[in-house]
Amino acid sequence: MIEITITEEQRDCLQELINVAMGRASDKLARYLETFVHLQVPHIELVSSSELPQAFAETYGDDSVTLLSQGFYGQDGITGETLLIYRADHTKNIANILGYEPDEVSEMEQLTDISSILTTTFLNGLAEQIDNQIAYSAPRVISSSETSIEKHLQDLSFNWELALKVAISYQVTDYEFNCDMVLLIPGVAIENIQQVLDQILEEY
């Protein structure tokens, strides 16, 4: 087991970078959906790969969810994965929000559009603040009704023991639609991001 600890200053610094990135993402989403997006303070913690599926199961229980998983690759070894999680009973509301007729645009297409807006705006916002450039892979869609989310999380954490996990919630309260974003920065990338955070902290 690798020993990694994150200091209070580093956590605070990362949280502020995340705040700005998620603020931009929620602004884009709010404009796209023409509604207000409620934000909460993001939650940051270190998680081990073994506890990841368990933590996921505890949050979502037996609820049917759709997950969009997308890898990202920045300079200086800043890499990781973004997960966007939608509850099935909420996805029904998106067509309503967007004013689509039933069957006009598939639910999956709507989720993909929303995910793309959130992920790209968020990652670009983060990259800009740390003077980095981030590329991303194509998103993979995993629906809990077809595939096991647990299996995907196990595959995802195959190469690492520990990850920095950032949990963000975008809540469209007017329509009962939530999107949870989980950012995973695993293994050696934790130390790389710590270096970036330390550099920022030195400036202040």
Partner 1 sequence: MTLSVLICDDSALARKQVKKSFPENWNVDVRLASNGLEAINMMREKIADVLFLDLTMPELDGISVLELLKLKKLANYVIVISADIQPEMQKRVTELGALAFIQKPVNSEKLSQILEEYGLL
Q: Which helix (H) or strand (E) holds 56?
A: helix 52-60
Interaction between residue 129 and partner 1 (CB under 8 A): yes
Residues whose CB is less than 8 angstroms from the CB of residue 28 and which lie 6 or more positions away in sequence, other chains included: 117, 118, 121
Q: How far is the CB of 108 from partner 1 (least distance, A)?
A: 26
Q: How far is the CB of 34 from partner 1 (least distance, A)?
A: 10
Interaction between residue 201 and partner 1 (CB under 8 A): yes
Cα 79-81-87 angle, rounded to 5 deg? 165
| Size of residue set near partner 1 by CB under 8 A | 23
Q: How far is the CB of 204 from partner 1 (least distance, A)?
A: 4
Task: Give the integer Cα–Cα distance in Å for 166 and 21.
Answer: 12
Touching partner 1, residues 4-43 (CB under 8 A): 9, 12-13, 15-16, 19-20, 22-24, 26-27, 30-31, 36-37, 39-41
Q: How far is the CB of 203 from partner 1 (least distance, A)?
A: 9
User: 121: how many CB neighbours lie within 10 A of its CB?
Assistant: 19
Q: How far is the CB of 170 from partner 1 (least distance, A)?
A: 11
Interaction between residue 123 and partner 1 (CB under 8 A): no
Please report, as ranges, the residues that interact with partner 1 according to CB under 8 A: 9, 12-13, 15-16, 19-20, 22-24, 26-27, 30-31, 36-37, 39-41, 129, 200-201, 204
